[in-house]
Amino acid sequence: MRAIDRVEARLVAASLFRRFLQRNPDALHNLLEAVIVRLREADRRRLEFTGWDVHERVCSLLAELVHTHGRPGPGGSMTIGLALSQEEIAGATGASREAVAKALRTLRTVGAITTSRKKIVVIDLLELRRFIDGNR
């Protein structure tokens, strides 16, 4: 497993963690809620991606990342605040790196994004959404 951003972690014995959760029902509730949200998101993404081509999956991921990690830039552009490689995008979309490279190239050509090493700037979010909606 690989993180896409800096992570700090601490190893805790399972028995200690269970005792902590037993003594802290709010923490248990928050943990269960977080797990449920992640499972629902995974199910939503799996259903959403069924039948979508690589361009649609890449556009959907980029639109989601604009929403969750976007930083406003000049002219209404949004810089995705994660340093993602084509390989990482491929893994997140269930596509090959080559197919992702082609999708990104198409998006650059139509003026929806600009890219540089591990940096993606979304210039035209509506254009991304047109790919998702199949209006291309």
Model pTM score? 0.70
Q: Name the percent of the chain lying above pLDDT 90.
A: 61
Task: Answer yes or no: are the C-beta atoms of 62 and 119 closer than 8 Å.
Answer: no
Distance CA 9, CA 124 (A): 37
Q: 126: which 2 tokens?
A: 């509506």
pLDDT digits (tens, 9 = 90+) for 50-74: 678 899 999 999 999 999 999 999 9
Q: How far is CA 12 from CA 17, 24, 36, 64, 78, in A?
A: 6, 16, 22, 32, 38
Domain positions in the chain:
14-46, 53-132
Segment 15-34, tens digit of pLDDT: 999 999 999 999 999 999 99
Counting every residue written for the chain, the total comes to 136
C-alpha–C-alpha distance, residues 86 and 63, integer Å: 16
* Domain 53-132, architecture per CATH: Orthogonal Bundle (1.10)
